[in-house]
Amino acid sequence: RWAVANAETLPFDDHSADFVTIAFGLRNVTDRQAALNEAYRVLKPGGRFLCLEFSHVQSRPLARLYDSWSFNILPVMGQMIAGDADSYRYLAESIRQFPTKEVLADMFAEAGFAQIRVRSLSAGIACIHSGWKLD
């Protein structure tokens, strides 16, 4: 079943889910490690967790261009289109402060996940992290 819930305190029994997913939300969780631990807790053995999230661009020239876009152009567009530049400034800041793909993979391992895979998308602008609960 699909549910919208607090990622740090999922309202599900232990070992009750085949899959757990989160997309562009882990950045906004107060205690990311707690959220990963919860995903692991609710997964059945053999279950998989998938996380799609913004990441850090690896190419230095592209990273400079991406930062310029994110911090200078995106807030202006947000103001023009949505009347809200602050939310778009927050988006850029939250991406910059989010762990690197390597650190997030380590956090998956700390939560207990195995066979952790990271797939970079759009030159690293976003990544899909996945991990399995084997026991």
Give the CATH number for residue 52.
3.40.50.150
Question: Domain total for the chain?
Answer: 2
Task: Establish if 3 belongs to a structural domain.
Answer: no
Token readout for 50 is: 């998938």
Which amino acid, one-letter code, is at 114? A
CA distance 75 to 89: 6
pTM above 0.85, yes or no: yes
Q: What is the mean pLDDT of the chain?
A: 96
CA distance 38 to 7: 7
Domain shared by 48 and 83, yes or no? no
Domain shared by 102 and 52, yes or no? yes
Q: Is the model's pLDDT at 25 over the cut of 80? A: yes
pLDDT at residue 52, as a whole number: 98
Domain shared by 64 and 50, yes or no? no
Domain shared by 93 and 103, yes or no? no
Longest dimension (CA), the chain: 51
Domain shared by 13 and 36, yes or no? yes
Q: Residue 99 CB: number of other CB atoms within 10 A?
A: 16
Task: Establish if 22 belongs to a structural domain.
Answer: yes
